[in-house]
Structure 1
C-alpha cells in the first residue's frame, strides 16, 4: 500500500474538508481533513522516493571472475550466482 495509501488519505482529507458539514464542540472536521491531506501528500512523496530507490538498486544476478594462470597462460572463467557463498 504505497502510492494508493497516499492517494486514499488525500481523498479522505478532501472529503472531510469540503464535503462534510459536521460540528462538535472543540472538534473541527475541516482541520482533520487538512491534516489527512498533508499526511497523504507526505506518504505519497515518500512512496515515490522508495520506489525510485528500489528500481535503481538492482543487484547483479551473476558475477564472472577471470583468472589467468601465469605458467600456462590459460584463462579460467568462473561464474557464480548471487545465492552462492562468497569466494574466500
Structure 2
C-alpha cells in the first residue's frame, strides 16, 4: 500500500460522507465514508513516516589500537 491507496480511501470516503444522498438498508453511508476517510488519513501518515525513516543510513567502524583497546565510531547520514 502507500500514498495511492491512502489517497484513494480518503477520496472515496469523502465522496460517501459528503456527496452521496442514497440510502442502503442497514448501512449508514455517511459513517462508512468518515471511517474510510480516517483510515486513508492514517495510512497516508504511516506511509510518510516509514518512507522517511527508511532513508537514514548508519555505519559503525571499530578500530583496534596497538594496546588492545577499541574505539567504536558511529556515523548517521540522510540518504
Deviation, structure 1 residue 67 = 8.2
Aligned partner of 2:19 in structure 1 is 19
Q: Secondary structure at the match of 1:23?
A: coil
Q: Secondary structure at the match of 2:54?
A: helix
Change (3 A) 1:48 1:67: same
TM-score (norm. length: structure 2): 0.68
What 5-or-longer segments of structure 1 have no aligned partner? 70-88
What 5-or-longer segments of structure 2 have no aligned partner? 67-79
RMSD of Structure 2 on Structure 1 (CA) = 2.1
Distance 1:66 1:38 in 2: 50
Change (3 A) 1:64 1:15: same
TM-score (norm. length: structure 1): 0.62
Q: How many residues align?
A: 67
4+ residue runs over 6 A deviation:
63-69
